[in-house]
Amino acid sequence: MTAILGHEADGKTPAALGYRLPAEWEPHAATWIAWPHRRATFLGPFADITRAYARIVRALARHEPVRVIGTGGVLDEASAMVGGAPGVTLVDIPTNDSWIRDTGPVFLVPGTGADLPPAAVTWEWNAWGGKYPPWEADGRVARSIAAREGCTIFAPGLVLEGGAIETDGAGTLLVNARCVVTDSRNPGVSRERLEEILRRNLCVERVLWTGGELAGDDTDGHIDQLARFVRPGIVVAARQPDQGDPNHLPLAENLAHLETLVDAKGKTIEVIPIDIPPRFSYGGVQLPASHLNYYVGNRFIAVPVFRERTDRQALDTLAACFPGRVVEPVPLDVVVRGRGGLHCITRDQPA
């Protein structure tokens, strides 16, 4: 294992060495999940949360290996609930919280013809701009997983959450500027400098900056709630037709902006809208319920559903976007009480 400061070490960035950032729909070695234990993160009875995680772990493990992290009593609870499930491995790694999409490593694969060891980019972590201390254990999760998997580690020194980025696997990166170009994450760093670091360390040719946000989303607008690639050149995007919902205007503006973007191959992005549930709440608190927070794995796509009228259209649209894959509807009305979704609690490790 070698640690490399990606933007400082004599040009030895992942891009210069010949790595590539794969799309999520490419083959996986495993899915990583952090077992939940931080009760303050979630609204409502916490026992509902662990039961929901257990159902999700078992559903994903039917398709590919699932590695569940935690330590001490947290890992003991995970063991009691999912430890005996086929395809599930428990890994002793301490955590503060369970949003591993944001705290886990971003894995890279060798580009065509490149003879390179497995690699991962480990970003800095400050709990979405300092919102939820303490976060020191979560700040070590990415490095711990990457080291366990024998990866070369690139540490650019930039605060970035995994849910803030989305790639087509062909050189294009979608990023919401609201949760990256901000003094709460990267004070004093210009958008131009941030883009340079992203391109060099995530091995992409073009960074497409977006906006948009969801009411109740404490990440400041993670892209995996708003817009996702389904293949190069084609994006699905969240839409809220209900003009009385606070999400209506920002999502409409974001959708219009997405239709103006051009990817790394010079193609104008095609945008397919997917309606999300209107005014979805728990205890009077509006929550970021989005079908866009889906997860694509080996021969399947797991789609968040909320027992709402928008479920069916979302399932049908995504099934058409990912032909040949099993569509797994995953009830997320409980997990979303933590203001996150299915993609937020999973981290894909490419084969």
Residue 16 has pLDDT above 50, yes or no: yes
What's the CA gap between 193 and 190, in Å, rounded? 5
With a pLDDT cut of 70, the percent of the chain lying above it is: 97
Calculate mean pLDDT across residues 266-288: 97
The number of residues in the chain equals 351
Q: Looking at 216-294, which runs of residues are DSSP E strands? A: 227-231, 234-239, 270-275, 281-282, 285-286
Residue 2 has pLDDT above 90, yes or no: no
Residue 1 has pLDDT above 50, yes or no: no
Between 72-82 and 46-61, two packed helices, what is the crossing angle to 10 degrees? 60
pLDDT value, residue 51: 98
Q: Tokens 């729909």 — which residue?
A: 25
Among candidates 215, 341, 331, which has minimal Cα distance to 279?
Answer: 215
240 within 8 A of 277, measured Cβ to Cβ: no
User: Can you give the three-state secondary structure of 41-80, one letter per residue?
Assistant: HCCCCHHHHHHHHHHHHHHHHCCCCEEEEECHHHHHHHHH
Query: Which CATH fold topology does 3-350 show?
Result: L-arginine/glycine Amidinotransferase; Chain A (3.75.10)
What's the CA gap between 282 and 308, in Å, rounded? 14
274 within 8 A of 235, measured Cβ to Cβ: no
Question: Which helix (H) or strand (E) segment is 209 a member of?
Answer: strand 206-210
pLDDT tens-digit series, residues 285-321: 999 999 999 999 999 999 999 999 999 999 999 999 9
pLDDT value, residue 5: 44
What the block records as the tokens of 14 is 């992942």
pLDDT tens-digit series, residues 210-225: 999 999 999 999 999 9
pLDDT value, residue 344: 98
pLDDT value, residue 12: 86
What the block records as the tokens of 115 is 């003879």
What the block records as the tokens of 260 is 């103006």
What's the CA gap between 37 and 50, in Å, rounded? 8
Q: Give ∠ CA 117-125-91 in degrees, rounded to 5.
A: 55
Sign for the pseudo-dihedral over CA of 82, 84, 88, 93: positive
pLDDT tens-digit series, residues 237-251: 999 999 999 999 999
pTM of the model: 0.96
Which residues carry out catalysis?
A: 344
